[in-house]
């Protein structure tokens, strides 16, 4: 099952995000992510949070429909996205994509990116917007795109055995730690890979 989580960050290109909705089996709104549903013209399957970021009349509208399961969770020790991720784990997904996770609030954006580490490693997970695809990798990431696509590799802890293939600036069996920035690398063809023996790295595929 492929699940799409909608968070309360910025969503600009509606057609781009509607395409992701159409490719998903279930849609889960993390609290204020519900605010995007009107523009995306969708009815979510689940809504979870303490509902402090969604307008009351909009909340009531989705409470009253027969499709959306509304789950109130007042846990202040977890973000709305964390609650949505926990819910997704109960739905047996093979893939989780997250939209609306990037916005003007850097604390929220960074927190949302780090939430990728809350997702079971066996589940393919990405944060996606019009300009970025962000994944957290523990072993290998197969890259697909076009020549000169931008790929950045950012370690989140001590990483050993870091090896690239198909990238303009390569490394092989390298040990790096948090603070080493492998940003703005480029694909040399339409495929590449990033591998590591231990640790975890963020892979960010970007375009202007």
Residues 67-126 have pLDDT tens digits of: 999 999 888 889 999 999 999 999 999 999 999 999 999 999 999 999 999 999 999 999
- Which CATH topology does 137-206 take? Jelly Rolls (2.60.120)
Q: For 115-166, write each residue's pLDDT tens digit.
A: 999 999 999 999 999 999 999 999 999 999 999 999 999 999 999 999 999 9
Position 177 scores a pLDDT of 96
Cα 3 from Cα 34, distance rounded (Å): 15
pTM for the complete prediction?
Answer: 0.94
Q: For 9-19, write each residue's pLDDT tens digit.
A: 999 999 999 99
Whether the per-residue pLDDT at 207 is higher than 90: the answer is no
> Other CB atoms closer than 10 Å to residue 6's CB: what's the count?
31
Strand partners, 24: none
Whether the per-residue pLDDT at 33 is higher than 90: the answer is yes
State the DSSP H helix or E strand holding residue 113, giving kind and residue range, or none if neither: helix 106-114
Position 93 scores a pLDDT of 97
Whether the per-residue pLDDT at 197 is higher than 90: the answer is yes
> Other CB atoms closer than 10 Å to residue 119's CB: what's the count?
19
Sign, CA torsion 138/171/203/181:
positive
Position 134 scores a pLDDT of 98
Q: Where are the domains of the chain?
A: 2-130, 137-206
Bridge pairing between strands 69-72 and 46-49: parallel
Cα 134 from Cα 128, distance rounded (Å): 6
Distances (CA, A) of 132 to 42, 79, 126, 160, 199: 23, 22, 10, 26, 22
Bridge pairing between strands 159-165 and 191-195: antiparallel
Whether the per-residue pLDDT at 63 is higher than 90: the answer is no
Give the CATH architecture of domain 2-130: 3-Layer(aba) Sandwich (3.40)
Q: What is the 3-state secondary structure (H, E, C) of 15-79?
A: HHHHHHHHCCCEEEEEHHHHHHHHHHCCCCCEEEECCCCCCHHHHHHHHHCCCCEEEECCCCCCC
């Amino acid at each position: 099952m492929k699940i799409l989580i909608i968070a309360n960050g910025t969503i600009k290109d509606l057609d781009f995000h509607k395409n992701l909705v159409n490719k998903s089996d279930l849609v889960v709104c993390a609290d204020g992510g519900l605010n995007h549903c009107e523009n995306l013209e969708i009815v979510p399957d689940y809504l979870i949070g303490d509902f402090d970021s969604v307008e009351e009349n909009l909340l009531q509208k989705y409470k009253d429909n027969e499709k959306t399961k509304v789950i109130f969770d007042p846990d202040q020790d977890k973000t709305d996205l964390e609650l949505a991720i926990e819910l997704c784990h109960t739905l047996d997904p093979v893939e989780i994509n997250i939209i609306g996770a990037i916005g003007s609030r850097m604390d929220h954006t960074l927190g949302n990116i780090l939430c990728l580490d809350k997702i079971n490693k066996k589940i393919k997970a990405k944060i996606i917007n019009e300009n970025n695809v962000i994944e957290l990798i523990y072993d290998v990431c197969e890259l697909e795109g076009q020549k000169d696509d931008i790929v950045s590799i950012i370690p989140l802890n001590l990483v050993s055995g870091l090896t690239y293939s198909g990238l303009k600036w390569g490394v092989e069996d390298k040990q790096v730690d948090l603070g080493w920035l492998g940003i703005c690398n480029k694909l040399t063809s339409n495929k590449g890979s990033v591998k590591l023996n231990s640790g975890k790295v963020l892979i960010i595929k970007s375009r202007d």
